[in-house]
Structure 1
């Protein structure tokens, strides 16, 4: 059996080693790409320029590097230039190219547009993880309201219906996506409905603070008290944020023994008693009792001595 296993292992090595050697003899280029916009914010209809940096991290020349596809939103007339026609990139070399386009009304509604794409070479790609890039183009100036419901449920993936009971008294705070800037806050009504007014178009973060006895099941798995949301200008006024909340036990505040013992003594009783004896480490009652006994013994001895004197004189 050992001879058969050894033979099988040798067969595997014989089959794998030539393939490995072939791969080593024919490596592929490794095209890495990054991109950046020329401005932090744009107006509707404004031209943008995206600078794209392409690097060949391999020891093999990349042949005809070009963009193979991508996605975009809120932009018009994107011109890819050399990324469309293609170019060769030597091993270890870096090249900078540009693409241009214009923002449109959709970018204003969403608060941003974006351009994303992928680059590859005709002679292959060694690593698909770093040849994809994208840029967000922020377009400020649009505002709209945002509404939703906090409703009763035991599951984070429950669906809301108009008949579902709501949870009132939940505070909802809208901030920027990074949580740094506060935009607005609201409190849910008896139906669990909340409305946040005049939020900037774009991504916001909603944080929920439930009243005692309730826990909101927000986030992807219902384990958070916050959830991201998208504000779209000129959108429908219908609420579209739905967050479940479940009942939880309310813990009662604990009372410390020292507090309860001190509270059992009324101020009037302590004040009427007058100043008390100082508290020391000795047993005060024992000392008082011993003193009393000593006084009684002294008086008895004095009486006995007096009787003896009277008797002698007689």
Structure 2
């Protein structure tokens, strides 16, 4: 009996991990996606968001409902069935809608948004995909955007009114994807720049520093560009602060020395130089050359000339004798 009891205890102990694993896996897996019914809205316009809820698990989801979220630039958000809740069978998909209106804030910043989370009463196997958000573009407002490019040794350097600026930095504002150019400016002696008449919303600022400076923009200072928010309000205060540090300036490449003139365009670096006694065969007769060989040739020519004259005189005397 003791052996049988021990065996039964062993079976139960061995089965506990498998039972726990089954219990842990017996949860629904809710995945949520959402989309607005229009690409953009006017201030005060009603929007409709379609929410798609899918239960990816083999377990039914009990009372799927809205548990919290956040929003900006919107009023009168009605969650409908997402608030009252509903059951969702294993592997099933359901679409529901929520509505609301954009407000003045959305017009000032160029967009509003709605973000929320759904859960089931019997748990959630993967909480990473049960949160969703929708961006609602509200174009129409414009304003200026100013900032400083200041001297700093690291990307997290802080600007103060006493911090020296970096002049001559070109700043270009484009759409967030960089495809449409809005405006450009150059920092003054204090490092201040101002970009005029930009649309409210996100803009991409790209910086081109003069020689000897490196802009440290972006989250970790590794880039020459950063995103900025344009807000239509009555404030003219600078909102963008980007550090830049001094870097070595690369020296220009050395120019040829005056004692070593560069070859003319018609010359070839692969052709060997001509020796004083040689000339190109295709260039016709060459110019006379000077030196010891020339004197020998002149002497030989003189001797030949003298011999010729002597032979001519002898032949002449012979003709005279024959005639006589």
Same fold (TM over 0.5): yes
Match of 1:21 in 2: 19
Q: Following superposition of structure 1 onto structure 2, how do residues 133-152 of structure 1 map, counting pairs within 5 Å?
A: 133-152=132-151
Match of 2:249 in 1: 250
Residue 271 (structure 2) pairs with residue 284 (structure 1): no
Residue 78 (structure 2) pairs with residue 82 (structure 1): no
- Structure 1, gaps ≥5 residues long: 1-13, 266-274, 308-314
Q: Distance in 1 between matches of 2:301 and 2:181?
A: 91
Larger radius of gyration: 2
Q: Distance in 2 between matches of 1:179 and 1:15?
A: 62
Deviation, 1:256, is: 6.0
Match of 2:154 in 1: 155
Instruction: Report the 3-state secondary structure (helix = DSSP H, G, I; strand = E; otherwise coil) of the residue aligned with 2:219.
Output: coil
Match of 1:233 in 2: 232
The Cα offsets for residues 3-33 of structure 1, whole Å up to 9 and x where unpaired, read as: xxxxxxxxxxx97862343322552111101
Match of 1:312 in 2: none
Deviation, 1:247, is: 1.2
Match of 1:36 in 2: 35
The Cα offsets for residues 24-44 of structure 1, whole Å up to 9 and x where unpaired, read as: 255211110100000001011
Residue 190 (structure 2) pairs with residue 191 (structure 1): yes
Match of 1:66 in 2: 65
Instruction: State whether residues 205 and 228 of structure 2, in contact with CA within 8 Å, keep that contact through their aligned partners in structure 1.
Output: yes
Deviation, 1:291, is: 10
- Structure 2, gaps ≥5 residues long: 1-11, 280-288, 308-324
Q: Distance in 2 between matches of 1:16 and 1:43?
A: 64
Match of 2:4 in 1: none
1:19–1:257 CA distance, 2 compared to 1 (3 A)? farther
Q: Distance in 2 between matches of 1:184 and 1:259?
A: 47
Instruction: State whether residues 256 and 262 of structure 2, in contact with CA within 8 Å, keep that contact through their aligned partners in structure 1.
Output: no
- Superposition TM-score, scaled by structure 2 size: 0.78
Q: Distance in 2 between matches of 1:97 and 1:22?
A: 35
Match of 1:167 in 2: 166
Instruction: Report the 3-state secondary structure (helix = DSSP H, G, I; strand = E; otherwise coil) of the residue aligned with 2:182.
Output: strand
Residue 85 (structure 2) pairs with residue 94 (structure 1): no
1:16–1:199 CA distance, 2 compared to 1 (3 A)? farther
Instruction: Report the 3-state secondary structure (helix = DSSP H, G, I; strand = E; otherwise coil) of the residue aligned with 2:261.
Output: helix
Q: Distance in 2 between matches of 1:203 and 1:117?
A: 22
Q: Distance in 2 between matches of 1:184 and 1:98?
A: 40
Q: Distance in 1 between matches of 2:63 and 2:123?
A: 10
Deviation, 1:165, is: 1.1
The Cα offsets for residues 175-202 of structure 1, whole Å up to 9 and x where unpaired, read as: 1111111111111111111111111111
Q: Distance in 2 between matches of 1:159 and 1:56?
A: 48
Instruction: Report the 3-state secondary structure (helix = DSSP H, G, I; strand = E; otherwise coil) of the residue aligned with 1:129.
Output: helix
